[in-house]
Amino acid sequence: MGLGKQVVIIGGGIVGLSSAYYLQKEGYEVTVIDKTNMTSGASYVNAGFLTPSHIIPLASPGMIAKGLKMMFNSSSPFYMKPRWDTDFFKWAWYFHKSSTDSKVEKAIPVIKDINLLSRDLFEDIKASGDLGDFQLERNGLLMLYQTQSAFLHEKEVAERASDLGLEVAYLDKAQLKQKEPHVSIAAEGAIHYECDGHTTPTQIMPLLIAYLKKIGVNINENEIVQDLKVKSGRIEEVVTDKSSYRPEHVVMAAGSWSGLLSKKLGIDLPLQGGKGYRINVKRETGIQLPAILMEAKMAVTPMVGFTRFAGTMEFSGNNRIVRKERVNAIAAGAQRFYPNLSITDEELDDAQTGLRPVSPDGLPYIGKPSKIDNLVFATGHAMMGWSLGPATGKLVSEIIGNKKTSMNIEAFSPNRKF
């Protein structure tokens, strides 16, 4: 690479590709490097939600206690595998320190703002026609509950969301039946976040890759970053197993691997991979609206060509091991709420996993570290990576271009203390 407006983006998930999308539009010469063939991972197996309603960060009061309680039950929705790992211990301590009412209170408006920004950008991308046609629906999200305690817990969140101007409705059994006439649902009712939307990630990702290639973005698959050489507070060279690059700017969008790569720069970025699972049912299920099954702690999304059942947050290191008991727990949860639905052995065997990068406070890292002048972090989005892809990409392009950012990003600083 010669001199000029060169950017290397490490990571080809939704965040890395969204960054490439907006940077290319600003006239940068962009190269995306990804260690996979870019057909799997968190950007492909998520629930596809666009969720302004998800205003409470993962690090909220009581979560560590829940995690410890569930630690020895490997089929529980929130699972921390017991292991001797000092990075994990440090992260867990920071997570605990972040799980306070006051910190959650501070995070709520910021999470809402970036979600709304991203939802609008998804709409803009669709309207531009850049990617061609893709599923982008705004039918809201149902929070289905079977118990009064689950309803009351979510009602607090819904009231807060409503106070923030988000559209919320309460549905009893009869109203729920009107919304979902073609499927039997074992629920007492639902809170309907009308502000939310959904997509099919496996449809959007190939369209985005194809568009970026067409407009001149270099996308280098199956290429592993081995070293990042720093001189005078700048990354001078990105060395991979196939090549080396001397870009003007580097974007770290490597998901759950961002923390490990940051160590090569002498930066301690607290981050853990939180594994999620998905089951695709390619038969007609009758399900029309995306939902979260509250007591089962899992998501359901009607996508193009299939219905997706997704869930769990498993902290067991950066591996892609499929734990059968966790897949079975998702299937059982689905059947608890949709009694006429049974997931086949074949569908269970086809289950896939992805690792979401989870910061200790549940907020992403978006911005420059104090140590390295030409690096921008774009990672740590936890369960909101898909929702926040376009907003993060837009913010990255603004940071690199020294422009006023579309929102205040102070809360996302990679230099923040836990």
pLDDT in tens, 33-61: 999 999 999 999 999 999 999 988 887 77
Reply yes or no on whether the pLDDT at 3 is more than 50. Answer: no
Interval 128-146 mean pLDDT: 97
pTM of full prediction above 0.85: yes
The CATH number of 6-412 is 3.50.50.60
Express as a percent the part of the chain with pLDDT over 90.
84
**Model pLDDT for residues 226-261, shown as the tens digit of each residue:** 999 999 999 999 999 999 999 999 999 999 999 999
pLDDT of amino acid 2:
40
Interval 28-33 mean pLDDT: 98
Quote the tokens at residue 280.
């695709």
- The residues spanned by each domain of the chain are 6-412
Distance between CA 15 and CA 253 in Å, rounded?
6
The whole-angstrom distance between residue 193's C-alpha and the CA centroid of its chain comes to 19
Reply yes or no on whether the pLDDT at 64 is more than 80. Answer: no
Distance between CA 360 and CA 364 in Å, rounded?
10
Interval 69-97 mean pLDDT: 79
Interval 353-364 mean pLDDT: 94
Reply yes or no on whether the pLDDT at 65 is more than 70. Answer: no
**Model pLDDT for residues 194-216, shown as the tens digit of each residue:** 999 999 999 999 999 999 999 99
On average, the pLDDT of the chain sits at 93
φ and ψ at residue 190, rounded to 5 degrees? -155, 150
pLDDT of amino acid 68:
64
Q: 3-state DSSP call for residue 34? A: coil
**Model pLDDT for residues 297-339, shown as the tens digit of each residue:** 999 999 999 999 999 888 888 888 888 998 999 999 999 999 9
The candidate with the shortest Cα–Cα distance to 260, out of 85, 416, 395, 57, is 85
